[in-house]
Structure 1
Amino acid sequence: MSKLNIIILTKNEERDIEAAIQNARQCADEVIVVDSGSTDRTAELAEKNGARVLFREWDNDFAAQRNFALTKTDADWVLYLDADERMNDELVHAVKKIVSANPSDAGRKKQYSMQRKSVAFGKKFSYGPLHPDWVTRLFPRESVTWTGKVHEHPECSLPLEKLPGHIEHYTYRNWQEWEEKMARYSTIWAEEAYHKGRRASLPEALLHGIGSLFSTLLLRLGFLDGWMGVCLCCMYFSYTMLKYLKLYGLQQGDTEL
């Protein structure tokens, strides 16, 4: 019978890690937690709940963390979850069905995506920056590698199929969490873009910000999520512009991001 490992990346996730592991164990043969140096009880709680905890020092590279996990398992299948994500019952059943299929089944030659629905600030979002999206997370282990330091993505040549059910993503609980994550992500993005030779001007930073506001508020109908949706679209404008301002700062020799 095929074996599935579920991989969870962590850094100070003691608030979520127990529920994440318990959710993952509904369909996983083993849960692997790749920790990047938590200073809270994340590792302790993960081990208490039956996960295998590995450590890889954080180097601002999410893809490297995900690829590291691939070298530490011989499972037939790998599925990636974040600590703040939960699979619903329908998705758990679908994953079990894929993994339990005969090894000669055509499903072995596919990768699988699943819908993700976001819950933030105590509200479910249906539009705007946090509209439901599809994320590819389930792969035959030897078929996938990850690229990109932030907003990383899998590279896999197998046919893609969508699974029923969904992931619930319990993201930002408050605006402070949003601010901290966006500050970190914008810095990583700017550094990676700079080293790849990308450059930006001040007008470009503003135009990218305006473009993101137009896209999230109008094209993705963010206003339909009410005033909270409108506020989130405005903050996404700020985040997008900040990425390019930090890139511009690097060009000017200002490494204090």
Structure 2
Amino acid sequence: MNLSDLLDLLHVPGGVPASALAADLALITSMSPELAAAPLSSSDPAALAAAYDAHRPRPVTAVVLTANEEERIAACLTALADDVDGCLLIDSGSSDGTAEQALRARPGTRILSAPWADDFSRQRNLAFGEVTEGWLCHVDADEVLVPSHAGRLRRALSVLDHLLPGHDFVVSPVIADHGGSVYTNTQRVLRADGSFRFRGRVHEHPYAPGDFAPPRVQVDVRFDHFGYLPEVIEKRGKRELYVRLDRLGRAEEPDNPKWVYYEVRDGLDPAAPEEEVRAAFALLASVTGDMVPDEPGYRTERIVDSWSLLCELAVRLGDTEALRTYTGLLAGAGRTVEATYYRTLVEAGRLLGRLSALVDGIASVESAEEPANRRLMARLFELQSTLALASGRYETVLPAYRKAAERGAGRSVTEDFAMLARVLAEVDA
């Protein structure tokens, strides 16, 4: 029996006896194929469950990079009370009360002073020289484990240790931006005695020797992230910092396409003029193109993401040919949701443009109205009002409806208005 088989048995009544093993195993949501195929020490779920009851979990250490985090550090560490055995702060010269707040929230917290060297990976990798046993859980100071998930991380790591004791891999909890994006491939938890180390000055991830991406396990453990709130980004200058580090990475590794991806993603203003968007598109397309990576690695990790970003830039440029190219690549890479979104956006834009042209076409014959065609003009104005509503030409909706009503038509439009009112009432409710 392999791990995938055991996970499948969770969904079979009586497949895995009710036990701590079954409860903790349910926290695993996905994993790399090589881990799913890993053979287990026994083919008997009951024997695995009994052995798990005697299993002693390895220690878990939270690693937090800090630099003037006195307003955030206590909430971060307090939330981890049930999940970690110790905390290690790697501090880049805080001048506020970060250390005091950390020690008050978590007595016994270790604080390692490490001057900032424009390299997040360097800071994170210092933890491997300080902790050599168990697990290292990298948490940012502005991330907080949600209260309902307290204890889950320790349980997930314990069951993974029990079932995969001879395997080295990384574990990804979910990180959700407050009011924004949700990230699942976070790769934040590593074995302290494992072979993986972080790479990249910024947007860092762990890699195996040879720059290969490590096997991964995703778990149902969520942290809420408050660092990308607009006021926080502005106050702490995050955008400027990330762009500067992106450019340093690109200067050091000019043949690595991911730095161009990051520089465009982090640095291109949403309101940038067309010439800047076009230049960014040309640069990113030149370094990624249609290159299909054989497998994820340090230099190929953002190729597919680059195609998605190229689609976004193509939308801004109105380049339908580029959209067809890169949505095809996204679909081939299994990113069907993104491919469908951009394809739909192109087709919807084309159709809305056609509807808008029909609205204008009706307006162009208004001067040709005469008593003999008044009834037909009424129906045309009714149709114009409906088409204007459908195409977002809202300034035309009511004038066209009034013209239709004056000529004895417009009933279908009032029915549309009534339906829209009911929908909006449901939205408000």
> TM-score when scaled to structure 1?
0.71
2: CA distance, partners of 1:139 / 1:57: 24
Runs (4 or more) in structure 1 with deviation over 6 Å come to 215-218
Q: Give CA-to-partner distance per residue, 1:151-194, whole Å, 9 cap, x none.
A: 11111465322111311111234346247101011011101201
Distance 1:87 1:114 in 2: 10
**Residue pair 2:156, 2:219 contacting (<8 A) in 1 also:** no
Distance 1:184 1:135, change over 3 A: same
- The partner residue of 2:238 within 181, 186, 191 is 181
Query: Which residue, 152, 156, 159 being the options, matches 1:98?
Result: 156
Give, in angstroms, the shift of residue 97 of structure 1: 1.4
More strand by share: 1
Displacement after TM superposition at 1:107 (Å): 5.5
The corresponding residue for 1:194 is 251
For residue 66 of structure 1, what is the amino acid of its counterpart?
Answer: R
Question: Which residue is equivalent to 1:147?
Answer: 199
Is the counterpart of residue 170 in structure 1 residue 226 in structure 2? yes
Where does residue 138 of structure 1 map in the other structure? 189
**Which amino acid in structure 2 is aligned with residue 56 of structure 1?**
A
1:72 lines up with 2:130 in the alignment: yes
Letter of the aligned partner of 1:172 in structure 2? Y
Inter-CA distance 215–75: structure 2 relative to 1 (3 Å threshold):
farther
Q: Deviations over 1:2-49 (max 9, x none)?
A: 111110101111110001111122211001111011111112211222
1:86 aligns with 2:137: no
From 92, 111, 132, give the equivalent of 1:53.
Answer: 111
**1: distance between equivalents of 2:338 and 2:135?**
37
The match for 1:240 is: none
Following the alignment from structure 2 to structure 1, what is the Cα–Cα distance between the partners of residues 198 and 232? 29
Task: Provide structure 1 residue ranges, at least 5 long, that are not aligned to the other structure.
Answer: 222-257
**Greater length-normalized contact order (CA 8 Å, ≥ 6 residues apart):** 1
Cα distance change, pair 216–167 in 1 and its aligned pair in 2 (3 A): farther
- Kept in 1, the 8 Å contact 2:176–2:223? The answer is yes
Q: Which amino acid aligns with 1:62?
A: F
Amino acid paired to 1:145 = R
Structure 2: stretches of 5+ with no match in the other structure: 1-55, 261-275, 285-305, 317-336, 342-429
Query: Is the 8 Å Cα contact of residues 62 and 148 (structure 1) preserved in structure 2?
Result: yes
Say if 1:150 and 1:189, in contact at 8 Å, map to a contact too: yes
Residue 71 of structure 1 aligns to a residue whose secondary structure is helix
In structure 2, which of residues 51, 62, 67 is the aligned counterpart of residue 11 of structure 1?
Answer: 67
CA distance in 1, matches of 2:70, 2:102: 8
What per-residue deviation string (whole Å, max 9, x for no partner) do you get for residues 71-90 of structure 1? 10123111110011112245
Match of 1:25 among 46, 71, 81: 81
- The question of whether the paired residues in 1 share the 8 Å contact of 2:281 and 2:314 is answered with no
**Aligned partner of residue 40 in structure 1, secondary structure:** coil
Which amino acid in 1 is paired with 2:187?
A: T
Q: Is 63-72 or 171-180 further displaced after alignment?
A: 171-180
Q: TM-score, normalised by structure 2?
A: 0.44
Taking a change above 3 Å as real, the CA distance of residues 76 and 132 of structure 1, as seen in their structure-2 partners, is: closer
RMSD: 3.3
Of 168, 171, 175, 1:116 maps to: 175
CA distance in 2, matches of 1:155, 1:195: 18
Q: Tell me how many residue pairs correspond in the alignment.
A: 213
Residue 138 of structure 1 and its aligned partner are, at CA, apart by 1.6
Instruction: Give 1 or 2 for the bigger CA radius of gyration.
Output: 2
Which of 262, 279, 285 is matched with 1:204 structurally?
279
Which amino acid counterpart does residue 186 of structure 1 have in structure 2? V
What secondary structure, in the 3-state scheme, does the structure 1 residue paired with 2:193 have?
A: helix
The one-letter code matched in structure 1 to 2:279 is E
